[in-house]
Each structure stands twice: as C-alpha cells, then as structure tokens.
Structure 1
Amino acid sequence: MMPEAPFRPREKLFEKQKYYQNIHRHTYLKGPMDKVTSVAIPLALAATSLYMIGRGIYNMSHGIGKKE
C-alpha cells in the first residue's frame, strides 16, 4: 500500500509554522482574517443589539407602535 500524499508540501508547512510562531499576539488573532471574525463581527452584533434595545425602550416609554 502506498502512503497518502500530504495536503501541502512540507516547505509550505514549515513557512506557516514559522509565521505563526514568530507573531506575538493572542492565538485567536494570529491569522490575517481573524480580526474580522474575532473582533468586528461580535462588535457589530453588540452594537446592533444595543441599538434595538434602546429603540424598544424609547418606543415603550413614548407609547409608539402599540397594537390596538
């Protein structure tokens, strides 16, 4: 039986390992696109939810949007 070919060449793997080992940041922010998934999306969700909560409180205090 022949061994299965690796997904990437070893040289590329060593380059990636060196890249990630030399960065002195938190582990969840080491990739190039990790700031988007770890920081921007949660901030956007938090801002949207705070806006909607504020709008709901404003509407309730002024009696806007009540159903008959």
Structure 2
Amino acid sequence: MAEITEPPFRPREKLLEKQKYFQSIHKHTYLKGRYDKITSVAIPGALAATALFLIGRGIYNMSHGIGKKE
C-alpha cells in the first residue's frame, strides 16, 4: 500500500516561528492572539454592561410604575 503524503498547510519554518512567538509572550493563554482581546474581553464586557443596564432600567420602571399594562 503506497503512502500518500500531502504538503503541509503552512511551511514548517513559519510554524516554528509562530510557536516561538507565542511561547515568548507572558500573557494569559487566551489573550495571546491578535484579536483575542476583542473576543475574550470586549464582547463579554459589552454583554454584561447591556444586561446590567436593562436590569437597572427594569427595576427603575417597576419601582415608579412606568410601562404597566392596564
């Protein structure tokens, strides 16, 4: 049975270069990529801020009787 070898997706040199880069950074593992701050910090922060705003608005409206259905 003949073994079929595929060319790698990235050249080995590029892969080793990226490995060295990521191993040299002393940040948290989930913040090492280029756009990781956006996905790990900004989006959850925006969701939390929106949720807190809506909860606060709901409590304010309930305490002042705004928006009641008759």
What range describes the TM-score normalised by the shorter chain of this pair? over 0.9
Task: Report runs of 4+ in structure 1 exceeding 4 Å deviation.
Answer: none
TM-score by length of 1: 0.95
Q: Distance in 2 between matches of 1:12 and 1:38?
A: 26
Match of 2:30 among 12, 28, 31: 28
CA–CA distance in structure 1, aligned partners of residues 4 and 48 of structure 2:
52
Cα distance in 2, alignment partners of residues 34 and 2 from structure 1: 36
**Deviation (angstroms), 1:65:** 0.5
Name stretches of at least 5 consecutive residues in structure 2 with no aligned partner.
none
Q: Which residue of 1 aligns with 2:13?
A: 11
* Percent of residue pairs identical: 78
1:65 is matched with 67
- TM-score, normalisation: structure 2: 0.92
The SS at the match of 1:40 is helix
The CA distance in 2 between the partners of 1:32 and 1:2, in whole Å, is 35
User: Please, which runs of 5 or more residues in structure 1 have no aligned partner?
Assistant: none
- SS of the aligned residue for 2:63 comes to helix
Query: Which residue of 37, 40, 47 maps to 1:38?
Result: 40
What SS is found at the alignment partner of 1:12? helix
